[in-house]
Amino acid sequence: MGILKRVKNLFLAETNGFLDKYEQPINMVDQYIREFEQELAKGQGALANQLFIEKRQAALIAETETTIEKRERQAKLAVKQGDDHIAKLALQDKLLQDKKLSAYREQYATIQEQTKALEEKITQLLVQSEEFNHRRLLLASRVNVASSLKEMNQSVVAFQTENVTKGFARVEEKVLMMEAEVEAMAHFSSPAKRSAPQYLDPSLTADIEKALDELKQQAQEQIEV
C-alpha cells in the first residue's frame, strides 16, 4: 500500500505540475492560436476545393458552348446538303446542350457567390490571425514585465523581512562581543592602574594639598605620642 500511495502521489504531482505549466498565460494563448490556425487551415482547404469546383464548372461551360457551336455548324451543313434528318439530329442535340448550358451557368453563378463568400471569410480570418498574433506579443510582453516585477517584489520582501533583520542582529552581536572583549581586557589589567588615575586634576589641587597636610599632621602627632 505504501508503494502504491507513493506512486499515486508522484503521478498527481507530475500531473499537477504539467497542468500548471500548461495553464501558464502564454501557453494557453499559444493553444488558442493553434486551434484558430487549424480552423483557418480548414477554411483555406475548403476555399481551394471551391476554386477547383469553380474552375471545373467553367471548363464544363466552355466545353458545352463548344459543343453547341459544333452542332449549329453541323445543322447548317446538313441543311445546305439537303439532309434534313441529320439537321434535325444536330438541332436536337443543340437544344439539349442549350438547356445544359443554362443550368451550368446558373450553377456557376451560385458557385461564384459561394467562392466570394468563402474568400471574404478567409480574409477575415487572416486579419483576425494577425490581430491574435499581435495581441499575443503584447500579452507576452505584459507577462514578462509582470513576472519580473513579481520576482523583484518577492526578493525585496524576503530581503526586508529576513536578510536585513538577521544582518542587523549579526552586527549587533559582533559589537557586543567587541565590547565584552574590551571590558575583559580592562578587567584583567593592573589594579593600581585601574584604581588610581595617572595625572592630577588642576581643579582639585587645593583639596588635595589640604588632605595631604592633614595626613602629614596626623603622622607627626603619632610620632610625638
Q: Any idea which residue has 518577492 for its cell?
A: 154
pLDDT (0 to 100) of residue 19: 43
Contact 119, 47 (CB under 8 A): yes
Residue numbers of the domain that contains 36: 2-155
Lowest mean pLDDT among 3-12, 43-52, 216-225: 3-12
pLDDT (0 to 100) of residue 20: 46
Instruction: Please indicate, yes or no, if residue 62 is contained in any of the structural domains.
Output: yes
Give the count of domains, the chain: 1
Instruction: Please indicate, yes or no, if residue 203 is contained in any of the structural domains.
Output: no
Residues 64 and 97: their CA atoms lie apart, in Å, by 6
CA torsion 90-95-97-102 (nearest 10°) is 160
Residues 67 and 91: their CA atoms lie apart, in Å, by 11
Residues 137 and 12: their CA atoms lie apart, in Å, by 33
What CATH number is given to the structural domain containing 76?
Answer: 1.10.287
Give the confidence band of 105 by pLDDT, cuts at 50, 70, 90.
very high
Instruction: Please indicate, yes or no, if residue 86 is contained in any of the structural domains.
Output: yes
Query: Average pLDDT, whole number, for the chain?
Result: 78
Higher pLDDT residue, 154 or 51?
Answer: 51
Residues 32 and 11: their CA atoms lie apart, in Å, by 27
Instruction: Please indicate, yes or no, if residue 131 is contained in any of the structural domains.
Output: yes
Predicted structure pTM score: 0.53
pLDDT (0 to 100) of residue 23: 53
Give the confidence band of 61 by pLDDT, cuts at 50, 70, 90.
very high
Residue range 131-190, pLDDT digits in tens: 888 888 888 878 777 777 777 666 555 555 566 667 677 877 877 887 777 777 765 555
Residue type (1 letter), 152: M
Instruction: Please indicate, yes or no, if residue 91 is contained in any of the structural domains.
Output: yes
User: Which alpha helices (DSSP H) does the chain contain, by range?
Assistant: 2-22, 25-81, 84-158, 164-187, 191-195, 205-224
